[in-house]
Amino acid sequence: SVPPFRSAGDVLEDNPVGKLKVFIYDLPRKYNKKMVTKDPRCLNHMFAAEIFMHRFLLSSAVRTLKPKEADWFYIPVYTTCDLTPAGLPLPFKSPRVMRSSIQYISNKWPFWNRTDGADHFFVVPHDFGACFHYQEEKAIERGILPLLRRATLVQTFGQENHVCLKEGSIIIPPFAPPQKMQAHLIPRDTPRSIFVYFRGLFYDTGNDPEGGYYARGARASLWENFKNNPLFDISTDHPATYYEDMQRAVFCLCPLGWAPWSPRLVEAVVFGCIPVIIADDIVLPFADAIPWEEIGVFVEEKDVPKLDTILTSMPIEDILRKQRLLANPSMKQAMLFPQPAQPRDAFHQILNGLARKLPHPEGVYLPPSEKHLNWTAGPVGDLKPW
């Protein structure tokens, strides 16, 4: 499930400027900025990449104001900005918002209709991407929003052979606030005195009272097997020293939750803690640019009970080699969405992903009047106007 290791140098160092031009649709504010004004909490959650990508592109050197010379068209819709009182995204309106925005651009400009969106890209950073539901069974039942079937999706969700992962999607890391992490850095020579570290839920009793479905039981197994093991510093408490603790740990557990990934993956890489990835079939962010096999440890979900043996038997030279690779600043940079943007950061890795999909194949452009997408497909609720 992980591509073979290749030298991180070439791809991480790529400069996408000059390789592609992006036209940004000017949408009414209700599709984007107004949502943030209404609830600024969207700027800080793990799905905020959609907002910061828009801001980045507006001032990027790849932006073109001439749609006729554009390689890619970008529709800035913030699909995860409708929040519950607890600050969690409610994706139920997202399909209607998305449909409405596509309707708007296809009536106002000729570019969507030429390709049915095949040269357009969207950022859909929710748990199950463009399936727009936070529960996997419901997301699978919904499938990817029919109107996005030809577009390129920039999404955090990546799981092999899954209905909600579209072939050709660009998989990105979840958003983790760079300034906040910067504020918690400790001296680099601080010894790593914690062997295994994890803070988070083991059971999601609110959504999964039986306890076997959440994280496919992997987190429950972690707790049952290692809650009393002195090598494992694991708990549901989220201390104020969370970021500092990660910098004092050798291994940071990154088990699946409802989806295969979480911001822990980003935090582990940024803080030089070896990520222990427990999520079968995960497709990792920027896997053609980041040598995940070399910096992380992959443990199958069924092997969680053997985790202590797996980690304690790892040769010290392997651990040191992974730590040296993680110390490479470009590895951290590729996982972050800093303000302002910096060379080789996650924004530029997304542009590299788009550049590598050029030139568009001939079949992208449809003969006049030919259509590939069915505007009336999908659940009836999605068809209501937004």
**Is the pLDDT reported for residue 8 higher than 90?**
no
- The pLDDT value recorded for residue 4 is 47
Averaged pLDDT for residues 359-371: 89
- The pLDDT value recorded for residue 9 is 52
Q: Can you spell out the DSSP letters for 134-192? A: SSHHHHHHH-S-GGGSSSEEEES--BTT-TTS-TTPEE-PPP--HHHHHTT---TT---
Share of the chain above pLDDT 70, in %: 96
Q: What is the DSSP letter of 263?
A: T
More confident residue, 74 or 363: 74
Tell me the domains of the chain and their CATH numbers.
8-175+340-383 (no CATH), 178-333 (3.40.50)
How many whole angstroms separate alpha carbon 130 and alpha carbon 116? 16
Radius of gyration of the chain measured on its C-alpha atoms = 21
Here the tokens at position 71 are 């390689």
- The pLDDT value recorded for residue 216 is 87
- Quote the pTM value: 0.93
Contact by Cβ (8 Å): 234, 228 = no
- The pLDDT value recorded for residue 3 is 46
Here the tokens at position 279 are 């999520």
**Is the pLDDT reported for residue 166 higher than 60?**
yes
